[in-house]
Structure 1
Amino acid sequence: MTATPRSPRLLLITTVVLAVAGGALLAVPHGQGAKVSVMPPSATAPTTPPPLTSTTPREPAGGGPRSTPTTSASAPASALPPHGEGEAGDPAIQQVLEKSWPADLPAEDERQMLTDGRALLRADATGIGRSKWPRVFGDSHQAVAPAFASARFRVQAAIARRDGSPTKAVVHLVWAGTDRGGTYTDGRITDLHFTRTIEKGKATWTPQPRI
């Protein structure tokens, strides 16, 4: 699998996740410990993410999905969980993504792509299940060794949206994982692209190889 090209949506989603780290910094007074609250369901998330501080992607050693790790950004501490919050902070990230990019796909199509997108990302990052996607990964026996351990891989949030055409869509995923060097990082970002095709007379969304 190769790197994902940058896109305006990828930069925007990067901003949202960067804000997770920034929220923690804003909420902790100098010399004191303070817990940042997770955004409640009734809270209103910002529809325009704050300015980006870093959008430089890096490739994990030994292959695996290319992602943009978080650094820091300005964001309301009450709206986003602190960096490193763990699973407790995932719902807040999901809520911010959904409010920043309103749904524009039929519910059934979105469910299919989210299910496939999560499975594809896990296969790409950990090597588990690559044989199910020969069109995406090619010969799984010749694939690059997985860059992340399966034990600590987790999709934190995901949305599926149209990608400039009724027959194209993209799944934005925010995820966490431990690389082969033992370093755990959350807030990683990957985009997976899908094309609407007709198979056996039925419309379906087919994942595209990452060029």
Structure 2
Amino acid sequence: MTTLPRSPRLLLLSTLVLAVAGVALLSVPDDRVQAGPAPATHATSAPSPAATVSPAGQQTAGAALSATSAAAIPSAVTSALPPHGEGVAGDPAIQRNLEAAWPADLPASDERELLIAGRALLRADATGIGRATWPQVFPDAGRQAVAPAFATARFRIQAAIARRDTGPDTAVVHLVWAGMDRGGTFTDLRITDLLFTRTTEKGKTTWTPLPRI
């Protein structure tokens, strides 16, 4: 079950991915031009954005995002994105654009904790591995076999950031990832949001994932 974006800032993230891709595609040189001396160009190529696909029979925190005007994107984030299907080599460019679109606003220690938890939670959701670690998110884990929605070997997190959400004790982890579903279809640039809240127990403060509706 997909959910709607929970923060207006998520729309900016979607705008970045979609609009930069559109602008970059317009500047791709025609491969049919005859070879010969020519001035160097800086044409960019970007992958087509892919809306998050819910794993069959499972809940996900993914959200299909809509695009708005490219004019809302800061010029600093119009650097080249990797071509669609570039693979691991293109992931750093996605990470850089994600960070430029939404500057850090959390203490470094909180961001590290959230990214570790967010990556592990997304992997558990997509592949079924490690769900027992998150009983508040996967209450049925351990009581029934889980058919993985995505192949573990073809699952990859391409980029991730953690930012404040609606208040000082809530945060959202934005993840861009790739995976092959049970039908054998491989898709990259999937976007998933995971919400966390800050809790304190026995004097220890930690970030806890919120159950999904």
TM-score norm. by structure 2 comes to 0.78
State the distance in 1 between where 2:97 and 2:112 align.
18
What's the counterpart of residue 115 of structure 1? Answer: 116
Other-structure match for 1:202: 204
CA distance in 1, matches of 2:97, 2:28: 21
Query: What percent identity do the matched residue pairs reach?
Result: 64
In the alignment, which residue of structure 2 is the partner of 1:131? 132
Contact 2:155/2:178 (<8 A) preserved: yes
Q: 1:32 to 1:136 in 2, by over 3 A?
A: farther
Name which of 50, 56, 65 aligns with 1:61: 56
Q: Output one character per residue of 1:32-88: Cα deviation in whole Å (capped at 9) or x when no partner.
A: 49996699xxxxxxxxxxxxx9896543433363343899x9799852112211111
Question: Structure 2: 5+ residue runs without aligned partners?
Answer: 34-40
User: CA separation in 1, counterparts of 2:19 and 2:166?
Assistant: 26
Residue of structure 2 equivalent to 1:170: 172
Letter in 2 for 1:125: A
- Structure with higher Rg: it is 2
CA RMSD of aligned residues (A): 3.3
The one-letter amino acid paired with 1:10 is L
Q: Give the partner amino acid of 1:63.
A: Q
**Which residue is 1:181 aligned to?**
183
Aligned partner of 1:6 in structure 2 is 5
Q: Following the alignment from structure 1 to structure 2, what is the Cα–Cα distance between the partners of residues 35 and 183?
A: 32
Instruction: Provide the C-alpha distance between the structure 1 equivalents of 2:42 and 2:183, rounded to a whole number of angstroms.
Output: 29
Match of 1:46 in 2: none
Give the direction of change, closer, same or farther, for the CA distance of 1:32–1:197 in structure 2 (3 Å limit): farther
RCO higher in structure (CA 8 A, sep ≥6): 1
Shift of 1:12: 2.2
After TM superposition, the structure 1 = structure 2 runs for residues 5-154 of structure 1, keeping only pairs within 5 Å, are 5-7=4-6, 8-19=8-19, 21-22=21-22, 25-32=25-32, 58-63=53-58, 65=60, 66-68=62-64, 78-140=79-141, 141-142=143-144, 145-154=147-156
Q: Per the alignment, in what secondary structure is the counterpart of residue 128 of structure 1?
A: coil
1:116-159 deviation per Cα after TM superposition (whole angstroms, max 9, x unaligned): 00000000000010011101111213476321111110000000
Counterpart contact for 1:64–1:146, Cα < 8 Å: no
Deviations 1:157-199 (A, max 9, x none): 0000000200000000000000000000000000000000102
Q: Any gaps of 5 or more consecutive residues in structure 1? A: 40-52
Q: Helix, strand or coil for the counterpart of 1:139? A: coil
Partner-residue secondary structure (3-state), 1:164: coil
CA distance in 1, matches of 2:128, 2:176: 18
Asked whether the 8 Å contact 1:21–1:83 carries over to 2, the reply is no
The 2-side partners of 1:17 and 1:87 are apart by: 18
Give the TM-score normalised by structure 1.
0.78
